[in-house]
């Protein structure tokens, strides 16, 4: 099983700032099959990024993903008020697993 | 517009079987893979397993012995059975499209395991 470790656990930022979230895998993720999701309280997760760097349909271009192998990053270029949420990475190159999440909160 | 809706009991007794159904609308279940994912209260996401329309399945190794996912193409729905439940199985259960990336999700249903 591939273990995904997300850091930091919590990120305190102000609207307009840049957010950089990390996801590290315990072994190489096959084919860069790595996705990022956003989850707000009481809601289902929403797909943001798949295949490490491809934006899902309707996702604003302030969200971008990068990385390969064992190290992946989600960047939000300028935080909007609606971006404060919990973010999860997921690998699906082998039996799928999720990271523990990063909470982006208002500073 | 693809929509998924979970249904099933909100309370299950310990040692019994949790059974949920996901009704899919807007697309034939004969496309894609279909998954179940859960989230204990206040915690992160856990993949449970997926099924392809052919009937082939893949389950989380940690749950493999207790999980069965099946589908009913005539009703355009798929189901989850989780046997011998304990309090640790208390969670919001989501159905979702895809066996890898999940584009579409149900709203989730809270299942509590308690006597």
**Residue A24, strand partner residues:** A5, A71
How many contacts (CB atoms, under 8 Å) link A and B?
Answer: 53
Q: Which residue of A has its CA nearest to B105?
A: A44
Nearest C-alpha in A relative to B41: A42
What gap in Å lies between CA B112 and CA B72, rounded to an integer?
26
Of the pLDDT bands very low, low, confident and very high (cuts 50, 70, 90), residue B107 is very high
In sequence order, what DSSP letters do the residues of B1-32 get, joined into one string? --EEEEES-SEE-TTS-EEEEEEEESS-TTSS
Distance to chain B for A15, nearest Cα, Å? 25
Give mean pLDDT, residues B7-31.
96
B94 closest CB neighbour out of A44, A95, A101: A44
Environment class of A50 (CB within 10 Å of its CB; exposed 0-12, middle 13-18, buried 19+)? buried
In the structure, what pLDDT confidence band is assigned to residue B31 with cuts at 50, 70 and 90?
Answer: confident
**Which residues in B lie closer than 8 A to residue A94 (C-beta atoms)?**
none
**In sequence order, what are the beta bridge partners of A95?**
none
B106 and chain A: CB distance < 8 Å anywhere?
Answer: yes
pLDDT digits (tens, 9 = 90+) for B33-85: 999 999 999 999 999 999 998 999 999 999 989 999 999 999 999 999 999 99
What value does the mean pLDDT of chain B take? 95
- CA B100 to CA B34: how far, in whole Å? 9
- pLDDT value at position A101? 97
Cis bond upstream, residue A45 (ω within 30) = no
State the pLDDT at residue B34: 97
CB A6 within 8 A of CB A98: no
Residues of chain A positioned with their CB less than 8 A from the CB of B58? 95
pLDDT at B94: 98
Question: How high is the pLDDT of residue A16?
Answer: 96
Rounded distance between C-alpha atoms, residue B51 and residue B97, angstroms: 10
Taking only the tens of pLDDT, chain A with its 107 residues reads 999 999 999 999 999 999 999 999 999 999 999 999 999 999 999 999 999 999 999 999 999 999 999 999 999 999 999 999 999 999 999 899 999 999 999 99
């Amino acid at each position: 099983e591939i273990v995904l470790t997300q850091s930091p656990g919590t990120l305190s930022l102000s609207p307009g700032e840049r957010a950089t979230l990390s996801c590290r895998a315990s072994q190489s993720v096959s084919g860069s099959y790595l996705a990022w999701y956003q989850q707000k309280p009481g809601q289902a997760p929403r797909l943001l990024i798949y295949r490490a760097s491809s934006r899902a349909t309707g996702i604003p271009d302030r969200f971008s993903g990068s990385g390969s192998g064992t190290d992946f990053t989600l960047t939000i270029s300028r935080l909007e008020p609606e971006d404060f949420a919990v973010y999860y990475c997921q690998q699906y190159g082998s039996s799928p697993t999720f990271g523990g999440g990063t909470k982006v909160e208002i500073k | 517009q693809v929509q998924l809706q979970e249904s099933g009991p909100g309370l299950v007794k310990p040692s019994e079987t949790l059974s949920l159904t996901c009704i899919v609308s807007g697309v034939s279940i004969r496309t894609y893979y279909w998954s179940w994912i859960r989230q204990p209260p206040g915690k992160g996401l856990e993949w449970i397993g997926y099924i392809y329309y052919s009937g082939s399945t893949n389950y989380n190794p940690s749950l493999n012995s207790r999980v069965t996912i099946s589908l009913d193409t005539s009703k355009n729905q798929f189901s989850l059975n989780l046997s011998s439940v304990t309090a640790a199985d208390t969670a919001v259960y989501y159905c979702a499209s895809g066996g890898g990336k999940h584009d579409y999700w149900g709203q989730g249903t809270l299942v509590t395991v308690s006597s």
